[in-house]
Amino acid sequence: LAPHRPPRDRPTPPLRGPGCRPRAPLRRCPRYIPPLRVWPMPQISASSPEQYPLNPEAFYFEYGRQSEAQPGCSVLDAAFKRYFSLIFPDYFPVTKNFELFHDILIFLDVPISLKYNLSVCAGQASLKAETVWGALRGLETFSQLVYQDDFGSFFVNKTDIEDFPRFQFRGILLDTSRHYLPVQAILKTLDAMAYSKFNVFHWHIVDDPSFPYQSQTFPDLSAKGAFHPMTHIYTQTDVQRVISYARLRGIRVLPEFDSPGHTQSWGKGQSDLLTPCYKGGTPSGAFGPVNPTLPSTYQFIARLFKEVSSVFPDSYIHLGGDEVNFFCWKSNPDVRAFMQKMGFGTDFTKLEAFYMESIVNITSTLNKTAIVWQDVFDYHELLHIWKGVPYDYTKELSRITKAGKRVVLAAPWYINHIAYGQDWRKSYTVQPLNFSGTEEQKKLVIGGEVCMWGEYVDATNLTPRLWPRASAAAERLWSDEKQTSSVEKAFPRLQDFRCKLLRRGIQAEPLYVGHCRHEYQGI
């Protein structure tokens, strides 16, 4: 079995990382040498048949002497603990005073670049990264390099890896409004996200069906708008727990408070927020999108977003802005009068733009960068979607980047849409930069996002529906596209990765017939 080699057009890096000791004599008897089975595929890697045993009794992580981060660094302290048990899943320390001899150790060294460099050689492995976030990815890679033979002994092969993500934004959207997801289900997803090197949790936290976010400023929103005011809400403590759990795994939490559409549940706890719809000359009792004509609306949004921007530390905030239905606005005489006053004529898209502009201004005063769905950029294409014409997202990418806007691509990764068979192959073969445009335009594509909308998903089926299907997109967003263009080559590696996920307690569904050494033990 040949060791994994990078493609020919790349220079082979020296098989000797900094700090490597002289090569130990090769063992006589041939042993099983696994191919490099890391998911997502690192950018540059070289491994050799030379293998080193790992002794759980003696293995430890250590901060490098010259490392900027030292014991006390919460992210890495926690990561060392976590990865120790991920690497040695069956291991429970039995002896209290075990010997500290240098079998394999990992340390962080002075920053050298944006990437992480991982070099495993006899006696020790070294991991260099500029930031702790890079170090977390390196730890994940290291943990995937370790394997067990048939007798249960742990091994790692001599390996050099130089790695960095292709895109800076690699997200997963979960929808906690259509179904409430218990905090435990979110935390589990964050764990699995870290295993696939995702770094953004896009929390579509509220929508029409329910408002589970418990606001300090407007407690009625969840008290009246959640499915249940006690059992189906996210308290401030829950939200903090999610944020800090994510941070320790190098994941940002991007909250979405979608308006002016998708806000039916908001109206239950905040009177006069939504537009009253009219039938003939009288209010019908139904409500439409947020009422953009009242100053009280903007006061409310300003106060809510002020809270949201202090609760969620991320510098981005998602404002939604998709699928606004003008039917109700049109029916309302006050809205129509406002339109006239503003000189919008009968163009309700102008009213929507007016609203979106106002709330984007609110968020910029809070020093947050606003993200919106593409509908806000252009309404023409949306009509096509409603009519069911297949949507050509590459054209959209050209158009939007031409206008100088930065883009996150989600269109090809709506994995709440399920189909019979191996649909991960479709997610995998997406080419996010394969659109006509200049180099400058391509740079505006900052990443992609896997969306798991919640109409048909709750805690009963979320995990197997998300994994390993989302992992296909993870590799597309992290790895070099040329090195990972073959679905057939990816298949055994992804199968192997899904068994790793099972071993780590993630209920990832099978790709096709076969088995894992350790099957899932729940129901």
CB of 452 to another protein, least distance (A): 11
CB of 497 to another protein, least distance (A): 14
Positions 13 through 42 that interact with another protein (CB under 8 A): none
What DSSP string runs through 171-221?
EEEEETTTS---HHHHHHHHHHHHHTT--EEEEE---SS---B--SS-THH
**Counting contacts by CB under 8 A, is residue 151 touching another protein?**
no
Torsion-angle region of 19 (φ positive above 0: left; ψ -120 to 50: alpha; else: beta):
left
Positions 401 through 420 that interact with another protein (CB under 8 A): 405-412, 414, 416-420
| Residues 224-253: x where in contact with another protein by CB under 8 A, - otherwise, as a string | ---xx--xx---------------------
Q: Which residues lie across from 255 on neighbouring strands?
A: 203
Find the part of the chain contacting another protein (CB under 8 A) among 34-42, 49-57, 68-76, 506-514: 506-514
End-to-end CA gap in the chain: 37
Say if residues 330 and 278 touch (Cβ distance below 8 Å).
no
CB of 239 to another protein, least distance (A): 18
**Counting contacts by CB under 8 A, is residue 428 touching another protein?**
no
For 22-32, give one letter per residue: b (16+ CB within 10 A) or e: eeeeeeeeeee
Of residues 68, 5, 27, 39, the one with CA closest to residue 143: 39
Say if residues 409 and 397 touch (Cβ distance below 8 Å).
yes
| Residues 276-305: x where in contact with another protein by CB under 8 A, - otherwise, as a string | -x--------x-x-----------------
**Counting contacts by CB under 8 A, is residue 120 touching another protein?**
no
Find the part of the chain contacting another protein (CB under 8 A) among 101-109, 289-297, 473-481, 510-518: 510-518
Q: Which two tokens stand for residue 331?
A: 């029916």
Decide whether 116 or 287 has the Cβ nearer to another protein: 287
Q: Identify the residue among 90, 149, 272, 357 touching another protein (CB under 8 A).
A: 357
Say if residues 15 and 61 touch (Cβ distance below 8 Å).
no
Say if residues 462 and 452 touch (Cβ distance below 8 Å).
yes
CB of 366 to another protein, least distance (A): 15
C-alpha–C-alpha distance, residues 515 and 289, integer Å: 50
Q: Which two tokens stand for residue 35?
A: 């191919």
Positions 205 through 224 that interact with another protein (CB under 8 A): 207-210
Q: What angle do CA 416, 420, 426 make, to 5 degrees?
A: 65
C-alpha–C-alpha distance, residues 119 and 106, integer Å: 9
Q: Identify the residue among 38, 239, 372, 452 touching another protein (CB under 8 A).
A: 372
Q: Identify the residue among 38, 79, 139, 371 touching another protein (CB under 8 A).
A: 371
| Residues 434-473: x where in contact with another protein by CB under 8 A, - otherwise, as a string | ------------x--x---xxxxxxxxx-xxx--------
Query: Whose structure tokens read 């291991």?
Result: 91
Active site residue 509: no
CB of 355 to another protein, least distance (A): 11
Long-range contacts of 127-132 (CB under 8 A, 24+ apart): 128/18, 128/64, 132/69, 132/73, 132/75, 132/76, 132/250
**Counting contacts by CB under 8 A, is residue 149 touching another protein?**
no
CB of 178 to another protein, least distance (A): 4
Q: Which two tokens stand for residue 109?
A: 């060294």
The count of residues interacting with another protein (CB under 8 A) is 108
Q: Which residues lie across from 276 on neighbouring strands?
A: 287
| Residues 160-199: x where in contact with another protein by CB under 8 A, - otherwise, as a string | ---------------x--xxx-x-xx--x-----------
**Counting contacts by CB under 8 A, is residue 341 touching another protein?**
no
**Counting contacts by CB under 8 A, is residue 348 touching another protein?**
yes
Q: Identify the residue among 78, 122, 223, 382 touching another protein (CB under 8 A).
A: 382
CB of 182 to another protein, least distance (A): 6
Find the part of the chain contacting another protein (CB under 8 A) among 77-85, 103-111, 119-127, 203-211: 203-211
Cβ atoms within 10 Å, residue 444? 17
Q: Identify the residue among 421, 439, 482, 488 touching another protein (CB under 8 A).
A: 421
Decide whether 25 or 421 has the Cβ nearer to another protein: 421
CB of 486 to another protein, least distance (A): 22
At what angle are helices 236-248 and 183-195 packed, to 10 degrees?
10
Task: Considering the candidates 62, 307, 323, 481, report the single residue annotated as catalytic.
Answer: 323
Query: Whose structure tokens read 């106002």?
Result: 358
Residues designated as active site:
323
